[in-house]
């Protein structure tokens, strides 16, 4: 996460226990993780890292927001303040997760190639990104997003960076109408207000039910790709 997002991890910490979208995203990502040693890039409040830890994985979490790393460490996670593109380590991982991270990075392909180098032979990358560039607006700018993705853009960049796509789908059709309305009205997305309401539990159940079907559209793209020996 960028330097201008130091407060975002604290925001995530406030809502993580009740927010329907965060809870479902963690579950969907967890279902794709494999191996033993996992790197969580852009760990935010550390909820995903803690969930992985509780499920028996060896987890290293990195974020260039020192507050995010501090919050993750309070959860018992090994956390390091680092930018993925500049991070130097001899460690190799079975799985690297970029959960809503790539959209914050100017040179996202460079990050994909760095992840390729950090993975063990036949390791995998799990990625979640926002979809539909036509929805890019005030909310994205506030979060420090550089872009939103199409299926083809994400797939092509990963393949160019040495990965073979194994799983790619949209999810979160549920809040697509809200995103369209906020884009047209140029108003803020009511994330915290919804997450702290009784509505959040209902939305969580609905989003979990929806996620069992593989839609070709939705506000997020979830992808798993396998490291190949050589990239172009």
Express each pLDDT in 215-229 by its tens digit: 788 999 999 999 997
Residues whose CB is less than 8 angstroms from the CB of residue 97 and which lie 6 or more positions away in sequence, other chains included = 29, 33, 38, 39, 40, 41, 48, 125, 126, 127
Q: Which of 111-115, 141-145, 206-210 has the highest mean pLDDT?
A: 111-115
Indicate if the pLDDT at residue 142 is higher than 90: no
Task: State residue 36's pLDDT score.
Answer: 97
Indicate if the pLDDT at residue 205 is higher than 70: yes
CATH match for 3-226 among 3.30.420.10, 3.40.50.300, 3.40.50.150, 3.40.50.12780:
3.40.50.150
Partnered with residue 129 across adjacent β-strands are 221
The 10s digit of each residue's pLDDT in 39-57 is 999 999 999 999 999 999 9
How large a percentage of the chain has pLDDT more than 70?
88
Q: How far is CA 23 from the centre of its chain?
A: 12
154 CB-side CA count, 13 A: 31
Partnered with residue 225 across adjacent β-strands are 125, 165
Contact 224, 166 (CB under 8 A): yes
Quick one: average pLDDT of 4-11?
59
Quick one: average pLDDT of 137-161?
93
Contact 199, 7 (CB under 8 A): no
215 CB-side CA count, 13 A: 16
96: nearest Cα among 57, 70, 47, 145: 57
Q: Is the dihedral of CA 195, 149, 226, 83 positive or negative?
A: negative
How far, in Å, CA of 81 to CA of 148, rounded?
A: 26
Task: State residue 196's pLDDT score.
Answer: 56
226: nearest Cα among 120, 91, 99: 120
45: nearest Cα among 87, 100, 4, 93: 100
pLDDT band at 14 (very low <50, low <70, confident <90, very high): confident
How far, in Å, CA of 48 to CA of 25, rounded?
A: 9
Task: Provide the whole-model pTM.
Answer: 0.89
17: nearest Cα among 196, 175, 171: 196
Indicate if the pLDDT at residue 94 is higher than 70: yes
Indicate if the pLDDT at residue 28 is higher than 50: yes
């Amino acid at each position: 996460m960028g330097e201008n997002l130091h407060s975002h991890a604290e925001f995530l910490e406030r809502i993580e226990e009740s927010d329907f979208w965060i809870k479902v995203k963690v579950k969907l990502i967890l279902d794709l993780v494999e191996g033993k040693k996992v790197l969580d890039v852009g760990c935010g409040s550390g909820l995903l890292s803690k969930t992985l830890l509780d499920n028996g994985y060896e987890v290293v979490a990195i974020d260039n927001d020192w507050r995010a790393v501090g919050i993750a460490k309070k959860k018992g996670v090994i956390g390091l303040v680092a930018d993925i593109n500049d991070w130097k380590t001899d460690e190799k991982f079975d799985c690297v997760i970029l959960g809503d991270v790539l959209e914050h990075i100017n040179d996202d392909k460079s990050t994909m190639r760095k992840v390729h180098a950090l993975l063990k032979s036949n390791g995998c990358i799990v990625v979640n990104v926002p979809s539909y560039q036509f929805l890019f607006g005030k909310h994205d700018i506030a979060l420090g997003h550089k872009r939103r993705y199409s299926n083809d853009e994400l797939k092509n960049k990963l393949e160019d960076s040495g990965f073979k796509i194994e799983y790619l789908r949209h999810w979160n059709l549920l809040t697509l109408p809200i995103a369209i309305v906020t884009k047209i009205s140029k108003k803020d997305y009511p994330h915290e207000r919804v997450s702290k309401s009784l509505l959040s539990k209902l939305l969580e159940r609905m989003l979990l039910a929806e996620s069992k079907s593989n839609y070709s559209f939705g506000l997020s793209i979830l992808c798993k790709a396998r490291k190949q020996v050589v990239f172009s």
